[in-house]
Amino acid sequence: MEWYKLCWAKYATFEGRARRSEYWYFTLFNIIAMFVLGAVGGILDAILGTMGIISTALIAIYGLAAFIPAISVMVRRLHDTGRSGWWFWIGLVPAVGGIILLIFMIMDSQDANNFGSNPKLAAA
């Protein structure tokens, strides 16, 4: 839960580095939150007969709120692997872009690079 809070505390911080755990815990919590909001919205839609309006609105509001922190933690994660944040755009390449970005997100931290010292060593 601390990693999730840390990403919200660094809402639009695109400098520095983010460990794998920071990125993946934030992503996991976002997936869980969207699932829960969709389920709660679905129940409310069924009760009120609103045909998906409430669930869609809840997911969209949360998605918009989490959009900037998700991009910033991804950029910091790219920095941790020694890449510029501009590599974020590779995800828009059909078929292979998402796979390449996933590989970058899975890679281990580099030692000190242009973006700062290794956050894994600082936490130890």
Tens of pLDDT, residue by residue over 15-57, are 999 999 999 999 999 999 999 999 999 999 999 999 999 999 9
pLDDT at position 88 is 95
Asked whether the whole model's pTM tops 0.85, one would answer yes
Tally of structural domains, the chain: 1
Q: What whole-number distance in Å separates Cα of residue 104 and Cα of residue 52?
A: 36
Q: What are phi and psi of 15, to 5 degrees?
A: -95, 160
pLDDT at position 124 is 57
Q: How confident is the model at residue 65 (pLDDT cuts 50, 70, 90)?
A: very high
Question: Which class for 44: exposed (0-12), middle (13-18), buried (19 or more C-beta within 10 A)?
Answer: middle
pLDDT of residue 83 exceeding 60, the answer is: yes
pLDDT of residue 123 exceeding 80, the answer is: no
Q: Which domain holds residue 77?
A: 2-123
Q: What is the mean pLDDT of residues 80-98?
A: 95
